[in-house]
Amino acid sequence: MTNRLAGRTALVTGAGSGIGRQVATRFAAEGARVVFTDRDAAAATAAAKDIDGSLAVDMDIVDERSVEAGFAAADAAGFTTDRAAIISRIPMGRSGTAADVEGIMACLASHELSYATGANFRVDGGMTTL
């Protein structure tokens, strides 16, 4: 592995297992300081256990309070995560919520769109316009 991520901090969601764990582990191997987050705190802790300089944080990304607490825990532990800078890049100026996604999902499942095919709907607060 290279050190191409040295000096960088990565907060990886779903890092307790599967793809999230693989990504977090790879980032660490590439030199990043990694915050392993998962809604299963025990899984995040187990995944981060053997990674020097990492942190495990309990975080459920569908719960805004949990996300805020997770970022606060990472910041308190010395992992610089500039959430405000991330959010400032979103044209709508805020992070998305489950309610932001449910409307398009109900619309897509309705008979009103029964003739629609092959469309891409982005629910990203305008990020793809950048």
Q: How far apart are CA 96 and CA 87, in angstroms?
A: 10
Model's pTM, two decimal places? 0.75
Which domains are seen in the chain, by residue range? Answer: 9-88 (3.40.50.720)
Beta bridge partners of 36: 12, 56
pLDDT digit string, tens, across residues 57-95:
999 988 889 998 999 999 999 997 777 777 788 888 888
Q: Which amino acid appears at position 37 of this protein?
A: T
Q: How far apart are CA 31 and CA 84, in angstroms?
A: 24
pLDDT digit string, tens, across residues 104-126:
888 888 888 888 876 788 888 88
Helices (H) and strands (E) in the chain, counts: 5, 3
Q: How far apart are CA 57 and CA 72, in angstroms?
A: 10
